[in-house]
Structure 1
């Protein structure tokens, strides 16, 4: 990621959507739109040429869909982080995109500030999932061989989890809660075990599903 601003590639088959997103980011501090693509094939080509920090990727596009493009970028080892921005939140869209390597998944009705925050988080490699999308992932993240444990989270574990859901890195969680990073990692290990998950995205998804996060 560049030191002063986050560079973007906007991928959407609708010119009006691309124009709107370009204008939105142009009017905000800290962002630079390097280019636009109308389909997944063009997105892969331009990502290679322009090397953006973040690719804002639509999913359903004539001439080359987003999931195939995400898979190709992942396979090619692209530096860019892919943030899906789409109108679709069905299992057939959400799960393949995440599995293909998308860093985050937002719906197009997300508020402007939420989109900006998501792009910043994605540029830093942090997972960003809208609540509606997170709940879709639950069936794929539960521990195999039965339901995960139901042991309740402690108050501090809930605090840590709430900050994780906002995309807060461990260092900032430690600072905000006045604890060490090592303690943050310990809390994460414990809440992963209690939720029956293995990573941050799965913890957030399961927490939404159980009503721990609302």
Structure 2
């Protein structure tokens, strides 16, 4: 697959992952797009809630497997792809690229998308981040130091199970 179709397939997977809310959505929106990106005969997953999911249903008769381990808020999940041919470095790199999208989708299916407990100050800072404010602007408006803003954001990231300000703003905006 040339770079343009790979990018198209990766973007389709990200869009499909964002649409996932139920286990049925995984089969409709995520697994087929994952198979388009990294060709495979089937996908098996153990969700963050411990539920076992399979697509297209029965376990495929593939001789090669690759597992993607996911972690969120102390919980673990795993996605396993099966196929007859070995997985190469390109396949593994693509799986690393889409790993956060797989984690987000499985987290929502497990009910991890439930309302989170942020303090009023954390919510206010996150709302300012979502509007595009810098740490310096937030600190100035709230009368606190930039370092304090950074500490609040660290706590927000931990609570939401994300690693950056964009993901945090999107996570709360989608929830």
Same fold (TM over 0.5): no
TM-score by length of 2: 0.38
Q: For CA contacts below 8 A with separation 6 or more, give which structure has more relative contact order.
A: 2
Of the two, which has the highest radius of gyration?
2
TM-score by length of 1: 0.32
